[in-house]
């Protein structure tokens, strides 16, 4: 027993360190091939700038302060929109999961709205809000609302009824039943909704910023296109990729912290 432990421990450790690096092998290899292809002229720089040029463009924009400002603006829009849409979606999910009356009253209406692609509302939203902040926030909030609403609702509806009966037998009040049984039971599903919503959040924001904005990453990319600054266009696309990955990692950390009880998140 102790022999097996002492042998397997360092090996596990090495494996986890490898796991951390392994995910970056593919992106780094692609960048290397890309660099070689552009430097040798195999791909003309009019089509795709070299990664080094992209880094250089990024450095220049960083020095001028323009990059930080645009990232900050986009990040701010994404988070505020997510918070607004997410909380409303969560609230409706709770209400409709817990109350039959509320579900009958609002669910049909919400399902109808859900089937309208929210990006199709852009022309209408521009007419309503112009191109200022509220238009972008509205679109992000609308996009984020549905995955969180649906998954919260699903999570609450699928909590094991045997556990709810158990809670009732052991004299839990409604509030306690929610806190100790229903909410923790719905949490894995709520996290699925959050991760879907994070993807939709970036997508909506990019589209909204490229169509109607005067700041932000999407605006930066559109401006660069006007002036044929292809390195800046590629730069903004890469930053979107990084921000998306960052948001996903943040939700994973939160998931691990709150779902430690779940067999899928326990150390193997």
Partner 1 sequence: MQTALRAAFSESELASRANFVPHARAAREERPVHTSGLPLSIRGLRKSFGDNEVLRGIDLHIPVGQFVAIVGKSGCGKSTLLRLIAGLEKIDAGSISFGDEVQAEDIRVMFQEPRLLPWARVLANVEVGLGRDRATSDAQLRAEKALAEVGLADKRDQWPSVLSGGQKQRVALARALVSRPRVLAFDEPLGALDALTRISMQRLLERVWRDQGFTAILVTHDVSEAVALADRVLVIEEGRIAHDVMVNASRPRERGSVELAGLEGSILSHLLSADDRT
- For residues 76 and 183, which CB has a smaller minimum distance to partner 1 in the complex? 183
Shortest Cβ distance from residue 16 to partner 1 (Å)?
A: 20
Shortest Cβ distance from residue 233 to partner 1 (Å)?
A: 46
Shortest Cβ distance from residue 188 to partner 1 (Å)?
A: 10
- For residues 47 and 257, which CB has a smaller minimum distance to partner 1 in the complex? 257
- For residues 184 and 244, which CB has a smaller minimum distance to partner 1 in the complex? 184
Q: Please name the residue ranges forming H helices in the chain.
A: 2-39, 51-64, 66-98, 100-114, 122-129, 133-157, 161-169, 174-177, 183-211, 217-226, 230-258
- For residues 187 and 229, which CB has a smaller minimum distance to partner 1 in the complex? 187
CA dihedral 211, 216, 218, 219 (to 10 degrees): 60
- For residues 20 and 263, which CB has a smaller minimum distance to partner 1 in the complex? 263
| Dist. CA 35–CA 43, nearest whole Å | 10
- For residues 20 and 161, which CB has a smaller minimum distance to partner 1 in the complex? 161
SS3 231: helix
- For residues 14 and 179, which CB has a smaller minimum distance to partner 1 in the complex? 179
Shortest Cβ distance from residue 9 to partner 1 (Å)?
A: 19
Give the pair of three-digit tokens for residue 95. Answer: 């209400």
Shortest Cβ distance from residue 165 to partner 1 (Å)?
A: 7
The pair phi, psi for residue 42, each rounded to 5°, is -65, -40
| Dist. CA 22–CA 216, nearest whole Å | 32
CA angle 167, 173, 178 (to 5 degrees): 70
Residue pair 181/163 in contact (Cβ under 8 Å)? The answer is yes
Shortest Cβ distance from residue 256 to partner 1 (Å)?
A: 14
Shortest Cβ distance from residue 183 to partner 1 (Å)?
A: 9
Measured distance between the N- and C-terminal CA atoms of the chain, rounded to whole angstroms: 17
When computed from its CA atoms, the radius of gyration of the chain, rounded to whole angstroms, is 24
Short-list 168, 198, 164, CA closest to 182: 164
Question: Which residues contact partner 1 (rule: CB under 8 A)?
Answer: 162-163, 165-167, 169-172, 180-181, 184-185, 187, 259-263, 266
């Amino acid at each position: 027993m102790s022999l097996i432990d002492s042998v397997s421990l360092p090996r596990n450790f090495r494996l986890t360190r490898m796991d951390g690096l392994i995910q970056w092998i593919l992106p780094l290899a692609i960048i290397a091939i890309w660099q070689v292809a552009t430097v040798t002229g195999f791909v003309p720089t009019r089509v795709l700038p070299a990664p080094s040029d992209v880094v250089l463009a990024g450095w220049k924009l960083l020095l001028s302060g323009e990059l930080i400002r645009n990232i900050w603006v986009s990040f701010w829009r994404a988070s505020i929109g997510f918070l607004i849409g997410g909380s409303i979606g969560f609230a409706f999910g709770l209400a409709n999961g817990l109350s039959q009356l509320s579900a009958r009253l609002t669910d049909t209406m919400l399902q109808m709205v859900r089937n309208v692609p929210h990006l199709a509302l852009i022309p209408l939203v521009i007419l309503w809000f112009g191109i200022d902040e509220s238009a972008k926030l509205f679109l992000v909030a609308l996009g984020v609302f549905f995955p969180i609403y649906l998954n919260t609702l699903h999570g609450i509806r699928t909590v094991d009824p045997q556990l709810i009966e158990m809670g009732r037998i052991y004299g839990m009040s409604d509030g306690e039943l929610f806190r100790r049984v229903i909410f923790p039971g719905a949490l894995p599903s709520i996290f699925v909704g959050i991760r879907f919503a994070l993807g939709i959040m970036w997508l909506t924001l990019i589209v909204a910023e490229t169509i109607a904005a005067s700041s932000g990453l999407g605006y930066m990319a559109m401006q660069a296109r006007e002036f044929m600054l292809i390195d800046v266009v590629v730069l903004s696309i890469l930053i979107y990729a990084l921000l998306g990955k960052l948001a996903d990692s943040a939700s994973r950390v939160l998931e691990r912290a709150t779902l430690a009880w779940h067999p899928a998140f326990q150390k193997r």
